[in-house]
Amino acid sequence: MKKATGILVGLFLIIPGIICAQSGNSTSTTKQATGTIRSFDGSTTLVVKSEVNGKRKSTTFVLTANTKRAGELTKGADVTVQYRVEGDRNIATLVRAEAPELETLEYAKSMISLDGEAEAHITTGNNVAVDGSATNHDKFQHDVILTATLLDANGKSLGMATGRLEDLPVGQRGNYRLVGTVTAQTWARVSVVVSNVTEHVRKEK
C-alpha cells in the first residue's frame, strides 16, 4: 500500500512538469524590437531589419486583427515592434512606424560611387555577366540598381546587363553582378551607371 501511494505521489509531481514543458514553447512576455522595415505584404507579414552586435539580421513579425498600428508601414521606415512569442512566430501587439526622411533621386545617385573598372565575361551562349563594386557614401542605406552597356571600338552598343545591390549599408562597399545578353563575343569597353536608387528616396511625380 505504501509503495502504491509513493507511485501516485510521484506521478502527481511529474505531470505538472510535463504540462509546463509542453507549454514552454510560448510566452506571454512582451518583447520589443526596433529597426527599419524591409518589407510588408500589406496584410499580416512584416519583415524588420536591424543590426545586433555589428551583424545585420531580419526578423519576421505576424500582424493580427488585434495588432495596434501607428504610422505608415512602408519600406525604409523606422519601426518599433512590441510582440510576444507563440511557438516559432513573433506575434506583434503594437507596430509604430515613423516616416523615413526622403532624398531626391539625383542626390541619392550622386552618393553612390563605382569603384574601379567593371569586368565582363561570357557565361553561356550570348549571356554575359558584369562584375564590379560600388560604395554608398550617403547617410542612409539604399537599394542600388545598376546598368552596364557593352560597347565596340566605335561606341556602338553590343548589349546590356542589369542588376542591383540590395540594402547597401551606409559607408560600405558592395560587390555586384549584372546579367544580360550581347550580340558579339568581344567588346572594347564596359560602361556602368547607377540607373536608379530606392529606399529613403522621394518618389518622382
On whether the pTM is more than 0.75, the answer is: no
Topology classification of domain 105-198: Immunoglobulin-like (2.60.40)
Q: What is the pLDDT of residue 128?
A: 98
Q: Which pLDDT score, from 0 to 100, does residue 204 have?
A: 66
CATH of domain 27-98: 2.40.50.320
Burial 12-45 (b: 16+ CB within 10 A, else e): eeeeeeeeeeeeeeeeeeeeebebbbbebeeeee
Domain boundaries, the chain: 27-98, 105-198
**For residue 143, pLDDT beyond 90:** yes
CA dihedral 10, 11, 14, 20 (to 10 degrees): -150
Q: pLDDT digit string (tens) for 65-103? A: 999 998 888 887 889 999 999 999 999 999 999 877 788
